[in-house]
Amino acid sequence: MHRIIFLLLLSFTVTVTAQPDLPKDLQPLPELAEPPPLPPDLELDPELEPQITIIQRGEDTIEEHRISGEIYMIKVIPRIGLPYYLVKNRGRGLHTHPGEPGSDVSPPMWKLLEF
């Protein structure tokens, strides 16, 4: 047991002493008070900003996400359970009759991991 502790302490001292020598004249970067301005020929288009509509149905919450007035995603937050997402299918080549229910929407999706 003592040998393991000794080896761990020895490896820690080796990694600490193995740090490279930094130049002496380093200076910190200046902090920006606000982001730099956009180039003059590039304007933000308010039509491309997502619009979110929140709807309460009973104890559930539904968020409709739209761009240019078209729904591209729905987030459903149930009272019990995890939120799930319904996303519009785009360009998958599996177009069926446009009148079929559910032909344009993916199956419900849950967020498994978040970084």
pTM greater than the 0.85 cutoff: no
Cα(105)–Cα(68) distance, integer angstroms: 18
Q: Alpha helices of the chain — where are they, by DSSP H?
A: 2-17
Model confidence at 20, in pLDDT bands (50, 70, 90)? low
pLDDT tens for residues 48-79?
788 899 999 999 999 999 988 888 889 999 99
Domain ranges of the chain: 48-110
The predicted pLDDT at position 78 comes to: 92
The predicted pLDDT at position 60 comes to: 93
Q: Which residue has the higher pLDDT, 42 or 84?
A: 84
Q: Show the tokens assigned to 16.
A: 């600490």
CATH class of 48-110: mainly beta
Cα(57)–Cα(7) distance, integer angstroms: 62
The predicted pLDDT at position 53 comes to: 93
